[in-house]
Every structure is written in structure tokens, then in C-alpha cells.
Amino acid sequence: MTIRHHITDPVLMAYAAGELAEAFNLIVATHVSMCDDCRAQLAAFEAVGGAVIEGQDAVSMSGAALEATLSRIELMPQATARAPARASGIFPAPLADYVGTDLASVGWTSLGAGVRQAILPTDRRATARLLYIPAGARMPDHGHRGLEMTLVLQGAFSDQNDRFGPGDIEFADEGMEHTPVSEMGQDCICLTATDAPLRFNTLVPRLVQGWFRI
């Protein structure tokens, strides 16, 4: 797999600092699990952040602080170790935590013309969804009222900007309008995150977008 479109440095730094909404965190974590380059860059940012923290002045704590912290850790559920990259099915491990490991485990909702979506449970600052787009299908022409990040998991799509295959990320903001088209040969499956509704240029998508939360 050759990845051509990566997470930008500002987004990686925001992820390392814990500043992103959960939906965008999921996009970054899933892409990083697929991309050696971004995984190495993220490690570098995290190392810099750790060095900054170590350089800060010490803060005094109460004598009971350590005991209270250990007690809280003991009450937390124990996490099960997971592989850093792919789970046993189509979805990388960070995403499999939300939807399971294969397509059959996803709770799809039909959007018409064979296109399906599954909205994932994340915090309210942004919305994450899986999109299943049949090979050769054309998505409605649309713009954006905020930020959208799209990660390709299977297949590929093209728009006015470029071609995006497995592992690629497309960033779209308020200045972009496009008409994504799924390539022939294999159905396209994407993970997307948006922090505002899309701006459709035709009537029918505008009429149903509230119902489908797009």
C-alpha cells in the first residue's frame, strides 16, 4: 500500500496534545495505524511534548496524592492489548474498537443508490461515520461549512482535487467544493469526520440531510 496523502503536521501536533474532537482523533489514530511515516512523525511530536513537560517547574502535591491516584487506577477496567495496525478484518484496530472487525458487524443505514453509512458513537464536537460507496457511484456535488477529513479504507475515489486510495486522507474546508466518484473495480469504504453539516448544491440531498445527519 502506497500512501500519498498524509495527516498534516498541525493536525498530528493537535492529536499529540489531546486537542482534537473524538471523531478527528479516530481518523488520525486509524491513519497512523496504517502509515509508517505519520506514525514516526507522531512519535517525534510526542517526544518533544514529553521533553517540554520534563522541563516544567515542579508543582507541590499533597501527601495523599499518590495513594489517591493508585486507588483510582485500581478501579479502572483493565484494557486488553491490541495489535497496533490491522485487526482480523478490514478495519484497523483503532476503528475496530468502534465497529468490529468486518463489514458484517457494521450497523449500516441506506442513503440510496447503494450508498450506506454508519454513524459512530463519538463526542458531540464532531461526527464520525463510515461510508460504503459502490464502485462507480458518484456522490452529490457539495461544499463544506467546516472541516471534513476522509480516510480511505478500501477501494479509491477521485474528485476535482486528486485520487485517494487506501490509507490516503483528504482534507476539505469551507473553500472546497467537490464531487467524489468511487472508482470502478472495488467498492469504496471511507471513514469521515465532520464538525459541521455539508453544503449540498442540489435540492434532494438538502431535503434529506437533516434526517441522515449529513
CB 185 within 8 A of CB 120: no
Tens digits of residue pLDDT in 33-61: 999 999 999 999 998 754 444 444 555 65
Q: Could you give all domains of the chain from N- to C-terminal order, each with its CATH number?
A: 9-86+199-212 (1.10.10), 93-195 (2.60.120.10)
Mean pLDDT for 15-20 is 95
The rounded distance, in Å, linking the Cα atoms of 146 and 21 is 13
Residue 165 reports pLDDT greater than 60: yes
C-alpha cell at 168: 490516503
Q: Using CA of residue 17, residue 124, residue 30, residue 136, what is the dihedral sign? A: negative
Residues in Cβ contact with 57 at an 8 Å cutoff, skipping those fewer than 6 apart:
none
Q: What is the pLDDT of residue 183?
A: 97
- Indicate the helix (H) or strand (E) that contains 49: helix 36-54
Amino acid identity, position 211? W
Residues in Cβ contact with 123 at an 8 Å cutoff, skipping those fewer than 6 apart:
21, 22, 23
Higher pLDDT, 95 or 89: 95
Find, among 35, 36, 38, the residue nearest to 16 by Cα. Answer: 38
- Indicate the helix (H) or strand (E) that contains 67: helix 65-75
